[in-house]
Amino acid sequence: MMRRLAARAIYNPDLFPPRGPRRLGMLGNQRLFERGITPPWVWSATKCQEYWATATEGTTNNEPSSYATKNRAIVGVLKDFWQPEVTPESSVLEVGCNAGANLKGLHDHGYRDLAALEINPSAIDEMRRGFPELDPTVTIGPVEQTLPTLADDSVDVVFSMAVLLHIHPSSVQVFQEMVRVARRYVCVIEAESSTLPYIFARNYQRIFEQAACTQLRSKVLTEAEFPAVGRDYWGYTARLFSVPAKG
């Protein structure tokens, strides 16, 4: 009984901020993760990376085909949210593209200068099969290793969607790397309240403002305002940041 109560206080599977003891647990987890502290109730960085790198058909609930066929209404929300700053003429890098559904959605909206990072080779194989019209530049490997290989200011905008929530607390340098690579903007659509063994709650306004970015706007996705995106994204927070001037 005590173990179940402790788990309820530590973990929060819900996408909206909880109340009561679980809210205190959420706030505590956010502060730990944002400081790069790994508490004993979450997976190690190695286990997190291995889980996502080896997800194949029939081995996990997060199989690549489920991402290839996901509801792409969320990409329309992304496109509307980041305009007018980000347009089809912008160069775009997605951190964690999985099987490419977001890139496909952007392509359908006229975006052509697309690139991505992805840890799972099987997901990229699924993208090539499912969306042969896409031809993004894809770098395969853990984002902790692939982002540092990219040049400063190499794309107009770096974005993530339901990926940073899986970045391990020990990998806090990833956020600064996103800012370094982005020439103009960083955009994230992420769950900020949930914590599970491989999901890490963070406040991304704090994260990117600590990296000297300026938040231009934010929006919590609710069922009332965004019914088409479905329950997978209700409770997520969209944020658009301008990156600091460089050089």
DSSP letter for each residue of 126-168: HHHHH-TT---EEEES-HHHHGGGSPTT-EEEEEEES-GGGS-
pLDDT at 7: 62
Mean predicted lDDT score pLDDT of the chain: 94
pLDDT at 32: 97
What percentage of the chain has pLDDT greater than the value 90? 86
In the DSSP assignment, the letter for residue 4 is H
Q: Residue 18 and residue 21: Cα distance in Å, rounded?
A: 8
Q: Residue 87 and residue 75: Cα distance in Å, rounded?
A: 13
Q: Is the pTM of this model over 0.75?
A: yes
Question: Residue 70: which of 185, 231, 189, 242 has the closest Cα?
Answer: 231
How long a stretch of residues is the chain?
247
Residue 158: left (phi > 0), alpha (psi -120 to 50), or beta?
A: beta
pLDDT higher at 247 or 77: 77
b (16+ CB within 10 A) / e for 209-230: eebebeeeeebebeeeebeebe
Question: Residue 141: which of 120, 125, 126 has the closest Cα?
Answer: 120
Band the pLDDT of 6: cuts 50, 70, 90.
Answer: low
pLDDT at 219: 98
b (16+ CB within 10 A) / e for 128-139: eebbeebebebb
